[in-house]
Structure 1
Amino acid sequence: MFKKSAINKGNFYLIFPNIFDFKGGIQVYSTFLLKALQDVYPEADYDVFLKYDKQNLKTQQNLQFLSSTKFHYFGNLPKLLQTILFAAKIIILAIFQRPTVVISTHVNYATACYILKLLTGIPYWVVAHGLEVWEIENNFIKLALQKADKIVSVSNYTRQRLLEGKNIDSEKIFVLPNTFDANQFKINPKPSYLLKRYNLTNEQPVILTVTRMGRMAKYKGYDQMLHALVKVRLCLPDVHFILAGKGDDIPRIKALVAKLNLQDCVTIAGFVPDEELCAHYNLCDVFALPSKGEGFGIVYLEALACGKPVLAGNQDGSIDPLAEGKLGCLVDPDNVEEIAYNLIKILQGDCSNPVIYQPKYLQQKTIDAFDFNQFRANLVKLVNGH
């Protein structure tokens, strides 16, 4: 699509929601995308537009980018003014600078890219993650997605959803899966400091879920996990469930825990910082997130890289990191009985998929398919038009 010499001396415009203030799937993907581009094209210029980040946040993060990277922040502005100035600055600056390509990691920003293309002919790409592109109601956003030069889907599942009745040319949609830093995730024994923190013994079966717990995120399946736990503990009385993450749904979750009389076997751990994430995966005997709204699910990669059995839903992008079930256990995310049955089987060492008990195999397969080096190599192919 572009000559390599033109890219090296060119200018990438990258439009992100944010990367410094909040760590969700889109933010992690955006960060890895920027890092990969700068690894491969260190001589190019980079203008990064951050709708929700504020200027002082960059210094608080341990993120390394090229010193020439220009960040444009809009997080301090009132909401309506933020949206207007965000789009206006992208368009006006691009008219003067003429970037090589504009890449948006959220479909909502594709409208500004489309207007810019109409005015200047500058090509743009849109990254498609999950729910935000599965059902687009805004016709202008839908049109902007259709007119993109490339749509980069984070999973085969999302690619299939995009091809269902959205009038998008299949030749435009490329899969560039989520990635992770494999160096951060190792196979280790259960950490003694976490056993002590959560008042657990080394022999206790531990189920872990790491997720956002917002009122708009009930599709993540943590309610079903709690209902399934009632049944699991009938077979495994000393089982313990650690639910980690933050969000505005936690008060309701705590009330549900009390209602189900699970206070003695559930820990709502709150936000887990990056430096403790690997330790939490190593603490568990199974990682479970029976979601039905994942575009992909980076947490599955992290758990697999720690060699852990993984249980996920079979109705969304979760099937991609689990290699369509070859590396884990896929269940109907709405079926509490099925979730409970499979959790019991996994914890009793009797899962029908024996590879989930082969930590090094799980780790290696995950690294081979999804490590950052693989992501970077695949991105180069995309940029070069393959």
Structure 2
Amino acid sequence: MSIVLPKSLRFTCFHLWFPNLFDFKGGIQVYLQDLLLALEDKFPRLPLVIFDKLDKTKSRDKFESKELSFLFSGSLPSFLRSPHFALSIAIGSLIERPNLILCGHLNFAPIAFLIHRLTGVPYWIFVYGIDAWSVQDHWKQKALHSAEKIISISGYTSSRLIREQKLAPERISLLPVTFDASRFQIKPKPQHLLSRYGLTAEPIILTVARLDSMERYKGYDQILQALPEIRRQIPTIHYLIVGKGSDRPRIEQLIVQLNLQECVTLTGFVTDDELCDHYNMCDVFAMPSKAEGFGIVYLEALACGRPTLGGNQDGAIDALCHGELGALVNPDDVEEIAQTLIQILQGIYPNPLIYQPEALRKKVIDTFGFERFKQTLAELMQTSSVGSKL
């Protein structure tokens, strides 16, 4: 149900400061798109002004509400984007005096802090993962301590902020990642993909990740290192890695070094339309990461009813509900990764839920579906400084 704003608030607005939404599709961008869709749905008459640093123009038809205004800095030369964006959000805030500023990234928080000191306009900061871990910048620290709310996508990031920045637990609220469950269904293994990759009835391990040299923390190296042991007990095992990026040549070299050419396939880029089929092709989804803010891919795999493995040192803890929805392993322990994957594939892992596809799907939707996301956001708004006006 939408929340209708009283007339007293209909001529005010919220400002949303986002790094980007459209040209690049990463976890933060998807999360911020979901945030914007949820705000539109729950507060349809609330004007929202979106300051977008990197995009040149809007490229998603869903954001057509007359209550949305977009201001882009991405069409400028790269060296001018940051100053233009900073000047735009500062001047916009000083002139319009929004009811609330939503900082879509911690990098923007120092400006929000200064605006707050000058005008009293409250602000929230959204934090994800590595962006908010081990923060040393003085102004970011001051901004964190002065924010009305810090919205974290995971309990893991919240606990790190509490410990590292000495923040009171009540200062941080959770708004976990959501996903479009309608795009991910339980289906039989797709024969067209098995044929494409030259597979038949082999048990399949799947990882979906950007193969970037800066994102080796995803854990695909560890799975490759674990494969020789897995092959000793499950000789027909096959490992699929979906994704593209600058790290692919090094991965290919590692596959050769480990003599895994016959049991590993690098699929390259896969379109959104084929992603669900790739999840349904696997017998276990595995990404033993150690620096993931949350990991939407875990939710997608779970919605397809697939047993799922993640690391026990990052946001995967939240995505897998502390092990309730899947297996959590030490991402640096290749032997533990190997033995856990063997157990899952042999059907003897001591968590019966992972072998119940429909129950797994229902649980992940109930916990992380978009309806739950919208309701949590509405509850957060009600407890904010503008809550009494909503």
Cα distance between partner residues in 2 of 1:7 and 1:356: 47
Deviation at 1:62, TM superposition (A): 5.3
Cα distance between partner residues in 1 of 2:260 and 2:18: 40
Q: Which shifted more, 304-313 or 66-75?
A: 66-75
What letter is aligned with 2:367? A
* 2:364 alignment partner, SS class: helix
Deviation at 1:149, TM superposition (A): 0.9
What letter is aligned with 1:243? I
Name the counterpart of 1:226: 224
* 1:102 alignment partner, SS class: strand
Name the counterpart of 1:333: 331
- 1:213-264 deviation digits (Å, cap 9, x = unpaired): 2111111111101101122112222211111122221121111111111112
* 1:26 alignment partner, SS class: helix
Q: Which shifted more, 6-15 or 242-251?
A: 6-15
Cα distance between partner residues in 1 of 2:335 and 2:320: 21
Equivalent positions of 1:175-324 (< 5 A) are: 175-201=174-200, 203-324=201-322
Equivalent positions of 1:89-100 (< 5 A) are: 89-100=88-99
Q: 1:178 to 1:169 in 2, by over 3 A?
A: same
Cα distance between partner residues in 1 of 2:227 and 2:51: 43
Name the counterpart of 2:156: 157
Cα distance between partner residues in 2 of 1:268 and 1:67: 44
TM-score with structure 2 length normalisation? 0.94
Instruction: Say yes or no: does 1:111 pair with 2:104.
Output: no
8 Å Cα contact 2:305/2:360 also seen in 1: yes
Cα distance between partner residues in 2 of 1:365 and 1:65: 32
Name the counterpart of 2:79: 80
Q: Which shifted more, 228-237 or 357-366?
A: 228-237
Name the counterpart of 2:101: 102
What letter is aligned with 1:260? L
* 1:320 alignment partner, SS class: helix
Q: 1:330 to 1:8 in 2, by over 3 A?
A: farther
Cα distance between partner residues in 1 of 2:336 and 2:259: 21
- 1:310-356 deviation digits (Å, cap 9, x = unpaired): 01111111011211101111100000000011111111111121211
Cα distance between partner residues in 2 of 1:148 and 1:251: 43
Name the counterpart of 1:66: 65
- 1:58-114 deviation digits (Å, cap 9, x = unpaired): 33x454442442222222333332111111101101211121211112111111211
Percent same amino acid among aligned pairs?
49
8 Å Cα contact 2:291/2:315 also seen in 1: yes
What letter is aligned with 2:119? T
Name the counterpart of 1:147: 146
Cα distance between partner residues in 1 of 2:64 and 2:212: 31
Q: 1:128 to 1:339 in 2, by over 3 A?
A: same
How well do the aligned residues superpose, as a CA RMSD in angstroms?
1.7
Cα distance between partner residues in 1 of 2:45 and 2:315: 35
* 1:31 alignment partner, SS class: helix
Name the counterpart of 1:13: 15
Cα distance between partner residues in 2 of 1:37 and 1:75: 24
8 Å Cα contact 1:307/1:358 also seen in 2: yes
8 Å Cα contact 2:5/2:45 also seen in 1: no
Deviation at 1:7, TM superposition (A): 5.1
What letter is aligned with 1:220? K
Cα distance between partner residues in 2 of 1:9 and 1:339: 55
Matched residues, number: 381
Cα distance between partner residues in 2 of 1:372 and 1:292: 26
* 1:337 alignment partner, SS class: helix
What letter is aligned with 2:178? T
What letter is aligned with 1:322? L
Cα distance between partner residues in 2 of 1:236 and 1:109: 50
Deviation at 1:42, TM superposition (A): 1.1
What letter is aligned with 2:243? G
What letter is aligned with 2:22? F
Deviation at 1:119, TM superposition (A): 2.0
Cα distance between partner residues in 2 of 1:64 and 1:80: 28
Name the counterpart of 1:345: 343
8 Å Cα contact 1:206/1:240 also seen in 2: yes
Q: 1:167 to 1:233 in 2, by over 3 A?
A: same
Deviation at 1:168, TM superposition (A): 2.1
Cα distance between partner residues in 1 of 2:279 and 2:38: 26
Name the counterpart of 1:173: 172
Cα distance between partner residues in 1 of 2:174 and 2:291: 18
Cα distance between partner residues in 2 of 1:211 and 1:75: 26
Q: Which shifted more, 289-298 or 66-75?
A: 66-75
Deviation at 1:368, TM superposition (A): 0.6
What letter is aligned with 1:30? L
Cα distance between partner residues in 1 of 2:273 and 2:69: 28
Choose the corresponding residue for 2:41, options 39, 42, 58. 39
Cα distance between partner residues in 2 of 1:206 and 1:304: 16
Name the counterpart of 2:388: none
8 Å Cα contact 1:51/1:73 also seen in 2: yes
